């Protein structure tokens, strides 16, 4: 069964540093997303991406955050000037269709720890 692959599974970074979280969505999917889950809290939407541009972003996705699809297969989330409160599990997701009826396929997540 096709999977969304995320690397690394765990990333530790010092506060103020930049991190790049990587995702390989399912190959025929057209819509890509990043979500995060702070420990003990709900899964929160960060950003959606379609046709090489951001479709929608939440308030969490401030100007320290950026996304890119550099080579047609990878989908990356970059966080500059990381803060302690960025520590969370970051999930990448992709979907083939525009309708949410079919749900998204999520990756296993990258646990980001900012120290």
Partner 1 sequence: DQQVKQNSPSLSVQEGRISILNCDYTNSMFDYFLWYKKYPAEGPTFLISISSIKDKNEDGRFTVFLNKSAKHLSLHIVPSQPGDSAVYFCAASGNPGGGADGLTFGKGTHLIIQP
Q: Say if residues 107 and 22 touch (Cβ distance below 8 Å).
A: no
The CA distance from 64 to 3, in Å, is 28
The CA distance from 41 to 3, in Å, is 25
Instruction: Return the structure tokens found at 99.
Output: 């309708």
Closer residue to partner 1 (CB): 81 or 113: 113
Among 67, 109, 112, 114, binds partner 1 (CB under 8 A): 109
| Secondary structure letter of residue 109 according to DSSP | -
Q: Applying CB under 8 A, which part among 13-21, 62-70, 76-84, 98-106 lies near partner 1?
A: 98-106
Closer residue to partner 1 (CB): 79 or 92: 92
If you search the block for the tokens 């010092």, which residue do you land on?
A: 14
Among 18, 56, 68, 85, binds partner 1 (CB under 8 A): 56
46 binds partner 1 (CB under 8 A): yes
* Residues paired with 3 in a beta bridge: none
User: What residue ranges bind partner 1 (CB under 8 A)?
Assistant: 4, 6, 31, 33, 35, 41-48, 50, 55-56, 58, 91, 93, 95, 97-109
């Amino acid at each position: 069964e096709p999977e969304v692959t995320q690397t690394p599974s765990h990333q530790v970074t010092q506060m103020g540093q930049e991190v790049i979280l990587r995702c390989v969505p399912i190959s025929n999917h057209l819509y890509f997303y990043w979500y995060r889950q702070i420990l003990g809290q709900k899964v929160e939407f960060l950003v959606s991406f379609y046709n090489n541009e951001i479709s929608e972003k939440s308030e969490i996705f401030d100007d320290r955050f950026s996304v890119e699809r550099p080579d047609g297969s990878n989908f990356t989330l970059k966080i500059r000037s990381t803060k302690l409160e960025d520590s969370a599990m970051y999930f990448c997701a992709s979907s083939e269709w525009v309708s949410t009826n079919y749900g998204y396929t999520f990756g296993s997540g990258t646990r980001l720890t900012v120290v």
